[in-house]
Amino acid sequence: MIRGTTELVAIVGSPIAQVKSPRNFNAWFERHGKDLAMIPIDLDGQSLDGFVDALRAWRNLRGCVVTVPYKQAIATRVDTLSPRSQALGCVNVIRREADGTLTGDIVDGDGFMNAARRHGFVPKGARVLLIGAGGVGSAIAWSLCEHGAASIVLTDLDASRVERLRALLATHHAATDTGTRAGARLGSLAPFDLVVNASPAGMAGYDELPVSPDGLATLRADTLVADVVTSPEATRFLELARQAGCRVQTGAEMALAQLGNLGAFMHVTPLDI
C-alpha cells in the first residue's frame, strides 16, 4: 500500500515493463514491513534533463535504479560519481542525498561477483574469458580486476570496444593481465576458470551462440560458465556448457544477486538481502 508517508525509489528506462526490480524490491519491503515502494518509470529520452532535475527536487525519493538506454546519459547529468562509474562512464543506480544532490554508481559487477561466489568461484588469481565489452561486460571486468583476477581475455564483435576496455583496465588495474582475441579465433577454452557471455547473443530474437560448439567442447569441467542474458533464463550457451559438465550461472541469478547492492546504495535495504 502506498500512503502519504511512503518513501519511494524508482527504476527508469525505456521500455520498462520487462524489469523485475519493482516486484523484487516491493516484495522485500512488504515482507519486512517497510513504508517504502519502488515505481517503474518509462521515460521519453527527450526529457532526461527535466527528469534529473525532478529527482533532485523530489523530497520523498531515496534513489533510482537506471537501466537501458539511460545508463550513460544519466552518468553525465548527476552531481557525483563513484570512481568506477567515472571511469566506465556509466551508472545503474543513483542515490538522492539529503541536500538533493545525486550520487551515481554501477553495481552490475558486484551482482555478478555475488552470484559467482555462490557457485564457488574464487576471483583471486582466476583466468577469465569475457565475451562482450559493452556496458555490462565493462562493469564485470572492472569487478574481476578489483577482486584480483590474474588475467582477462576480452573479445567483442566491435574491435574498438575491446581496445577501449583493454586500455581502461590496463590504466586502472595494471595487476590484471589483459589480452584480446578476435571472435573467430577464440581457440581452446581449457585455460579459463571463468567464461562469461556479457553480450546479448542468445537472448530472445538474437539466437546466436557467443562461442562456437567446437569451442564449448574444449571447456574444462571445473570452469564456471556464466551468461548475462536474462530472457531466456537458460540460454543455449549455458545448456551446452552444462552438457560439457560445467557449473553454470544465469543472467537472472546475477540480477537477483545485485538487489542488495542496489538497495544498500539507496539506503533502503541491507547489503545482504
Among 26, 56, 77, 134, binds ligand NAD (CB under 6 A): 134
CB of 199 to ligand NAD, least distance (A): 3
CB of 5 to ligand NAD, least distance (A): 32
Binding mask 163-202 for ligand NAD (x = CB under 6 A): --------------------x---------------xxx-
- Answer yes or no whether residue 22 interacts with ligand NAD by CB under 6 A: no
User: Rounded to an integer, what distance in angstroms lies between the CA atom of residue 234 and that of residue 250?
Assistant: 7
Among 158, 207, 214, 222, binds ligand NAD (CB under 6 A): 158
Max Cα-Cα span within the chain:
59
Among 34, 119, 127, 161, binds ligand NAD (CB under 6 A): 161
- Would you say 38 or 201 has its CB closer to ligand NAD? 201
CA torsion angle 60 57 259 134 (round to 10): 170
Binding mask 195-224 for ligand NAD (x = CB under 6 A): ----xxx-x----x-x--------------
Binding mask 90-109 for ligand NAD (x = CB under 6 A): ------------------x-
Q: Which cell numbers in the block locate residue 252?
A: 537472472
- Answer yes or no whether residue 255 interacts with ligand NAD by CB under 6 A: yes
Among 10, 136, 226, 246, binds ligand NAD (CB under 6 A): 136
User: Rounded to an integer, what distance in angstroms lies between the CA atom of residue 84 and that of residue 107?
Assistant: 9
- Would you say 93 or 131 has its CB closer to ligand NAD? 131
- Answer yes or no whether residue 157 interacts with ligand NAD by CB under 6 A: yes
Q: How many CB atoms are located within 10 Å of the residue 252 CB?
A: 18
Number of residues that bind ligand NAD (CB under 6 A): 28
- Would you say 143 or 199 has its CB closer to ligand NAD? 199
- Would you say 97 or 146 has its CB closer to ligand NAD? 146
CB of 94 to ligand NAD, least distance (A): 16
Query: Which residues in this chain contact ligand NAD in the complex, by CB under 6 A?
Result: 68, 108, 111, 131-137, 156-158, 161, 183, 199-201, 203, 208, 210, 228-230, 251, 254-255, 258
